[in-house]
Homo-oligomer: A and B are copies of this chain.
Amino acid sequence: MSAGACLWFTGLSGSGKTTTAEALLPMLEQRGRTVTMLDGDVVRTHLSRGLGFSREDRDENVRRVGYVAAEIVRHGGLVVCALVSPYRATRDEVRAMVDAAGGPGSFIEIHVDTPLEEVIARDVKGLYAAGTKQMTGLSDPYEPPLTPELTLETVERTVAQNAQQVLDYLVGRGLL
Tell me which of A71-79, A119-127, A150-158 binds B: A71-79
- B74 near A76 with CB under 8 A, answer no
Please tell me if the beta carbons of A47 and B50 are within 8 angstroms of each other in the complex: no
Complex: A50 Cα to B49 Cα, angstroms: 8
Bound Cα distance from A75 to B71, whole angstroms: 10
> CA–CA, A4 to B2, complex, Å?
14
Q: For A64, what are the chain B residues with a Cβ–Cβ distance below 8 Å?
A: 46-47
| 99-152 of chain A: CB within 8 A of chain B | none
Q: Is the CB of A71 within 8 A of B36?
A: yes
Are A46 and B63 touching (Cβ within 8 A)? Answer: yes
Select which of B36, B46, B47, B67 is within 8 A of A75 by beta carbon.
Answer: B36
User: CA separation between A63 and B64, bound complex, in Å?
Assistant: 15
Residues of A within 8 A of B (CB): 1-2, 4, 34, 36, 46-47, 49-51, 60, 63-64, 67-68, 71-72, 74-79
